[in-house]
Structure 1
Amino acid sequence: MSIKFSANEIRFIALFENMTGAMVKDCIIDDENSKVTFVVKNGNMGLAIGKGGNTVSKVKRAVGRGVEIIELSDDSDEFIRNLLSPAELESVKITKNKKGEKIAIVTTDNTNKRIAIGKSGINIERAKLLADRQHEISNIILK
């Protein structure tokens, strides 16, 4: 699946990459919640955050909104865990539904389920979008 970025997303990606040295694989701008989510190449999380969170703080000031960084993984299970972090997940099972679409079934306790869902469902919706864009997982089901 190819991702088409808006001019604003391209601008934020260029700024982020220049400031951090980390390679961005995906970007979502959430104007409603004044937040930008960057998916960085596997192994670039340290560069993106910087020593003591210094680099990400500079990026937040430069973009004037909240910044979230998620590390990409070639492993679907690990990527789902990264997407739903800091929620602690008991298990992640990637399976196919009757239509042949990949879905992730995630098991966790109620406290972590609330963390994974987020206020008004924002975290799980963002996770579903990125899981589909990066691993063609059409749905994430929390149990």
Structure 2
Amino acid sequence: MKLDTDAIRTIAAFVKVTGIQPRDCMSTEDCIYFLVDPDKMTLAIGKSGSTVSRLRKIFHKNVKLFGYHDNALDMIKGMIPGTLEIKLENGYAMVSVPLADKSRVIGRRGSNIKAIKAILKRHFNVEDVKLRA
């Protein structure tokens, strides 16, 4: 996995604020996503979300943290809470979520689902993620 200079700077700022080395980071125009080891998640969030709030002020963007897992199924479950069923076949993931959660998973202008797809492709070669309600 190759990181550009902006990603390296973003990770350096994250480490400086949290003291935690993220596994990966991905930035969109309105949000930055970090992959963190699950056992370090509480440190990364901070007391009452104070660390995430500081990161938001530094980056002037929303900040989302996901726990990193070694397999795609656990990763999807961590990134899409409330998942009912996951089918992984030939590099494609079919994820069933409650109808009430579908729009939140997709995000404004599809930003969340695009980030989830990019992270899964980068780490597990999952070509596409389809949502079912």
Same fold (TM over 0.5): yes
Partner residue, 1:118: 107
Correspondence list, 1:1-143, <5 A: 3-31=1-29, 33=30, 35-85=31-81, 88-96=82-90, 102-143=91-132
CA contact (8 A) 1:84 1:124 kept: no
Letter of the structure 1 residue corresponding to residue 39 of structure 2: G
CA contact (8 A) 1:84 1:123 kept: no
SS of corresponding position for 2:2: coil
CA contact (8 A) 1:106 1:142 kept: yes
CA contact (8 A) 1:27 1:37 kept: yes
Number of aligned residues: 132
Identity of aligned residues (%): 28
Q: CA RMSD in A?
A: 1.4
Give per-residue Cα distances to partners, 1:28-86, cap 9 Å, x unaligned.
1212x2x211111232211110111111111212222211111111131121122224x
Give per-residue Cα distances to partners, 1:94-115, cap 9 Å, x unaligned.
222xxxxx21111122222222
SS of corresponding position for 2:93: strand
Query: Which structure 2 residue ranges, 5 or more long, are not aligned?
Result: none
Structure 1 segments, 4+ long, off by >6 Å, are none
CA distance in structure 1 between the aligned counterparts of 2:52 and 2:98, rounded to whole angstroms: 30
Normalising by structure 2, report the TM-score. Answer: 0.90
Between structures 1 and 2, the one with greater helix share: 2
Letter of the structure 2 residue corresponding to residue 73 of structure 1: H
